[in-house]
Amino acid sequence: MTEETGQAWCQDMLARLGTSKFRASFSLSAKDRAYARAKGKAVIERHAHEMLAQRVGPAQPLKDGKQTPYRGHPVFTAQHATATCCRGCIERWHHIPKGQPLSEEEIDRLAALVMAWIERDLTDHPAS
């Protein structure tokens, strides 16, 4: 997937997720926004890749469905908003079947979506 098609996919997916009252209800806390701004995009993006690989990447993730907290890091909130929080949501929204590990390409694509959501939230809520 080229960067341009990846960006288009992210925007289409964010629009689709926005039709869900539950997914659209998420936004970063002031503390998470400050953390994301202080750490910078590269660090948060690395965290997104690491968290997705460790928490939802395995074929049978530990405590699947309960492994992603709702608070504590911008990526956690973004995972719920983008339906990348557990393998059930990933299967339902992103059509990636359970029971097989996520590929590097799938992790990259889901991390790009998480980052697009975080960047949109930061843009919608400028630093004061």
Q: What is the pLDDT of residues 10-64, one digit of tens each?
A: 999 999 999 999 999 999 999 999 999 999 999 999 999 999 999 999 999 988 8
Q: Which two tokens stand for residue 99?
A: 């029971």
Whether residue 58 contacts residue 101, with contact meaning beta carbons closer than 8 Å, is answered with: yes
* CA end-to-end distance (rounded Å), the chain: 36
pLDDT band at 127 (very low <50, low <70, confident <90, very high): confident
- Spatial distance between the Cα atoms of 47 and 82, rounded to a whole number of angstroms: 16
Residue 9 has pLDDT above 90, yes or no: yes
pLDDT at 103 (0 to 100)? 97
List, as one string, the DSSP characters of 36-84: HHHH-HHHHHHHHHHHIIIII-SSS-TTTTSSS-SSSSHHHHHHHHTT-
- Domain ranges in the chain are 23-124
Residue 4 has pLDDT above 90, yes or no: no
How large is the average pLDDT for residues 84-89? Answer: 96
Residue 123 has pLDDT above 90, yes or no: yes
pLDDT at 96 (0 to 100)? 96
